[in-house]
């Protein structure tokens, strides 16, 4: 009798429509190293805009989730085999073979070139990078055009590739590179943390403008009904944008 009462209570909490969307296990979610959206589970840092938003909707829909940090390259492998259930990505046809994307955006971000604050550099096309030494973050996804440009420049030694975004900022400030490309909120947040607030700036030239969505592994063993799962989260994400909670985390992390 107690088992039936307990199950009924759970169903009332999560909602009948959400219950078929996942199994008995706790889904595995990537806690990326991507300030200010995720902070890789670092206890000394805030949770991040994306993580707070996901946790809010997990609680609203009854999803049980565990966040753990997985690196950029490793995340792809774990999503392909279903070890990792969920990550946040922009829509990409190359990933649709092993991922199912939601429609509701968690956030939007522009990829733009950064230069030193006193730089007179003007960039309006890829060719304008030719005279500049470029920084690059390994595993970061650009447009096919910019990726091809970087690959060509790497052959001549014109690109310094690192595994830590903070190194790009430090190299730019110390004049070891002239520019690098990344998302504006990420770089400005990290520059401020490093004590370089006001020492670098983003140019107006947009390399890539993307919205980022929930993406779940097609081979997930813990999500029974991916379609219902995605639709349930999409409804919550869309509804949350009009709440005071959403406004508060937007101001906290994005300054708007």
Q: DSSP letters of 74-123?
A: HHHHHHHHTSS-EEEEE--GGGTTTEEEEEEEEEEEEEEEEEETT-----
Lowest mean pLDDT among 39-43, 112-116, 140-144: 140-144
Is pLDDT above 60 for 18?
no
Buried-exposed string 186-220: b where 16+ CB fall within 10 A, e elsewhere: bbbbbbeeeebeeebbbbebebbebebbbbbbeeb
Q: Which of 255, 241, 226, 33 is nearest to 138 (CA)?
A: 33
Q: How confident is the model at residue 90 (pLDDT cuts 50, 70, 90)?
A: very high
Give the other-Cβ count within 10 Å of 66's Cβ. 11
CA–CA dist 14, 21 (Å, integer): 11
Angle at 205 between CA 200 and CA 207, to 5 degrees: 100
Q: What is the pLDDT of residue 151?
A: 94
**Alpha-carbon separation of residue 173 from 134, 196, 204, 239 (angstroms):** 13, 8, 19, 41
Please tell me the number of Cα atoms within 13 Å of 1 on its side-chain side: 0
Report the pLDDT value the prediction gives residue 133, as an integer from 0 to 100. Answer: 96
Q: Is the per-residue pLDDT at 71 higher than 50?
A: yes
pLDDT at residue 19 tops 70: no
Rounded to whole angstroms, the Cα distance separating 210 from 42 reads 26
| pLDDT reported for residue 7 | 39
- Answer for the pair 220, 27: CB distance below 8 angstroms, yes or no: yes
Q: Lowest-pLDDT range, 73-82, 134-143, 214-223? A: 134-143
Q: What is the pLDDT of residue 24?
A: 61
Secondary structure of 153-205 as H, E, C letters = HHCCCCEEEECCHHHHHHHHHCCCCCEEEEEHHHHHHHHHHCCCCCCEEECCC
User: What pLDDT score does 139 carry?
Assistant: 81
pLDDT-above-90 percentage for the chain? 81
Is residue 13's pLDDT more than 80? no
DSSP character for 26? P
> What is the predicted pLDDT for the residue at 21?
55
Show the domains of the chain with their CATH numbers. 2-108+212-254 (3.40.190.10), 109-209 (3.40.190.10)
Residue-level pLDDT at 11: 34
**Cα(240)–Cα(82) distance, integer angstroms:** 28
């Amino acid at each position: 009798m107690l088992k039936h009462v307990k199950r009924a209570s759970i169903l009332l909490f999560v909602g009948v429509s959400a219950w078929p969307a996942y199994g008995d296990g706790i889904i595995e979610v990537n806690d990326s190293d991507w300030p200010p959206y995720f902070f890789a589970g670092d206890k000394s840092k805030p949770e991040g805009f994306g993580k707070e938003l996901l946790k809010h909707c997990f609680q609203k829909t009854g999803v049980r989730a565990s966040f753990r940090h997985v690196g950029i390259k490793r995340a792809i492998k774990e999503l392909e085999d279903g070890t990792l259930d969920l990550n946040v990505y922009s829509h990409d046809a190359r990933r649709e073979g092993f991922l199912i994307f939601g429609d509701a955006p968690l956030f939007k971000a522009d990829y733009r070139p950064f230069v030193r604050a006193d730089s007179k550099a003007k960039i309006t096309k890829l060719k304008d990078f030719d005279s500049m030494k470029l920084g690059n973050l390994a595993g970061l996804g650009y447009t096919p055009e910019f990726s091809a440009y970087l690959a060509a420049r790497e052959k001549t030694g014109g690109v310094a590739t690192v595994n830590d975004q903070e190194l790009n900022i430090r190299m730019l400030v110390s004049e070891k590179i002239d520019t690098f490309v990344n998302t504006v909120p990420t770089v400005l947040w990290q520059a401020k943390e490093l004590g370089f607030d006001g020492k670098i700036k983003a140019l107006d030239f947009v390399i890539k403008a993307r919205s980022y969505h929930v993406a779940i592994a097609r081979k997930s063993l813990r999500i029974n009904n991916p379609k219902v799962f995605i639709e349930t989260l999409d409804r919550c994400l869309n509804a949350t944008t009009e709440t005071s909670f959403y406004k508060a985390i937007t101001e906290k992390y994005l300054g708007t």
